[in-house]
Amino acid sequence: MRSRWILALGVVLATLGLVGLGVVWMLESGALPSTATETFTSDGQRIYYTGRDADGRVIPGSGSGASMMRELTCVDCHAEDGRGGSTGMMMNSAVEIPDIRYSQLTATHTEHGPTSPGWSDRDIARAIREGVEPDGERLKAPMPRWDMTDAEIADVIAYLKELDNR
């Protein structure tokens, strides 16, 4: 009797798992409509929150964090306000996620030695696409590199400017 109950429970759980995988696949492939994209005030905000372009396509990533970060988006690490912070996401060790509000990226700063100029829009685009700082130093893992168009980069930068008001 007990083995029948366990078998029935196993079948139910396996069925639910397969249904869940099917739904995830359908959402990822665009087979199911998504209403989430309709609630954003800008394309930059949609990209920041969903990692999807205007057509709902997942923007591909590459580099050190891309495979691990495939399902994560900007907001998952940098937070809703763009301020980042410390997170325990790398094998129980804290990772410092930088503040990416436009005012912070473009301000002059002193981190390790002499004063560094603020980042330009071109520097921000290079960091997103190539994973490097203006001086050529690699951004720390888990930051992936994103394959965004010029228009998508411009939209994200415009949204980073909006974050200054939050």
11 in the Ramachandran plot: left (φ > 0), alpha (ψ -120 to 50) or beta? alpha
Q: What is the pLDDT of residue 144?
A: 86
Q: What is the pLDDT of residues 91-105, one digit of tens each?
A: 667 788 899 999 999
pLDDT, average across residues 25-47: 66
Paired strand residues for 145: 62
Coil, strand or helix: which one is 93?
strand
Among 52-56, 93-97, 104-108, where is mean pLDDT lowest? Answer: 93-97
Question: Residue 121 — pLDDT band, cuts 50, 70, 90?
Answer: very high
Identify residue 84 by its one-letter amino acid code: G
Residues 6+ positions from 144 with CB-CB distance below 8 Å = 61, 62, 63, 64, 65, 66, 69, 131
Can you give the pTM of this predicted structure? 0.70
- Per-position b or e across 43-82, b if 16+ CB within 10 A of its CB: bbbbbbbbbbbeebeebebebbbbeebeeebbbebbbeeb
- H or E element: which one contains 87? strand 85-90
In the chain, what are the domain boundaries? 1-32, 35-163
What Rg do the C-alpha atoms of the chain give, in angstroms? Answer: 20
Identify the weakest region by mean pLDDT among 54-63, 109-118, 143-152.
109-118
Segment 8-36 shows an average pLDDT of: 54
From residue 9, how far is each of 6, 18, 20, 22, 142 by CA, in Å? 5, 14, 16, 20, 38
Average of per-residue pLDDT values in the chain: 80
Task: With CA atoms as reference, report the closest residue to 97 among 105, 86, 89.
Answer: 86
Whether the Cβ atoms of residue 134 and residue 119 lie closer than 8 Å to each other: yes
